[in-house]
Amino acid sequence: MPHRRPRAHPPVAVDDGETRQRLVNVAAKLFGARGFSKVTVRDICQQARANVAAVNYHFDGKAGLYHEILQSAIRVMQGTTEAAKEAGKDRPPSEQFEAYVRIFLERVVPARESWIHQLMMREIADPTPALEMVFEQVLRPRITYLASIIARLLNCADNDPRVGRCLMSVNAQMLVLLDTPIANRFRATPPVQTDDVPGMIRHITCFSLAGIRAIAAT
């Protein structure tokens, strides 16, 4: 009697829209965990229960899939920046600052989109050509906006060295709250939960504004 091979799960058709979304979901987690270079098309398709041709069919290869995922992450991050700008529109700089901190923390702590943070950390640690796209479309506009608020608090030009130093200090307080391996090791307190967010917003806002005003007075 011939040996029977174990039954395998049949691959999903490459033109199935659900397959496309599964590929995106699986690849986002794998790229965030390992980085672009250490993830293969076979890894992605195997976990997504898709034919190995599916990545080429839907995205023209692994690079196309990675670009699709980065664009999705960029849209989410751009939405956070735009929400912060809208919340602070026509308000004095101290209130704009509070709105920026509040929107950022409400959207990213606790991590509703932790795959984005992990993906960005991997991209920074092992950059691909897409890093420039992330910087130009997300980081530069966000930094420029926050720097303009700090400059008005300091009553100085945006390119004053004190602006950059204050910007660094403010960002450090918020980035350490993200759900990333590095942040989790450096953070002295347990991960921030939803109930902790209002108190953390008040702390970072008060601490930062006091520091910026002290810098302005010296």
For 10-67, how does the pLDDT look when each residue is reduced to its tens digit (9 = 90+)?
A: 444 445 789 999 999 999 999 988 999 999 999 999 999 999 999 999 999 999 999 9
Cis before 92? omega within 30: no
pLDDT at 160 > cutoff 90: yes
Q: Give CA–CA dist 91/187, Å, rounded.
A: 32
Q: Would you state the pLDDT for residue 188? A: 60
Which range has the worst mean pLDDT, 16-30, 46-60, 71-85, 189-203? 189-203
CATH entry 1.10.357.10 includes domain 70-217: yes
pLDDT at 3 > cutoff 50: no
**Average pLDDT of 198-208?**
96
Domain with CATH 1.10.10.60 in the chain: 7-60
Q: Would you state the pLDDT for residue 86? A: 97
Domain with CATH 1.10.357.10 in the chain: 70-217
pTM here is: 0.81
- Give residue-wise pLDDT tens across range 126-149: 889 989 999 999 999 999 999 999
CATH entry 1.10.10.60 includes domain 7-60: yes
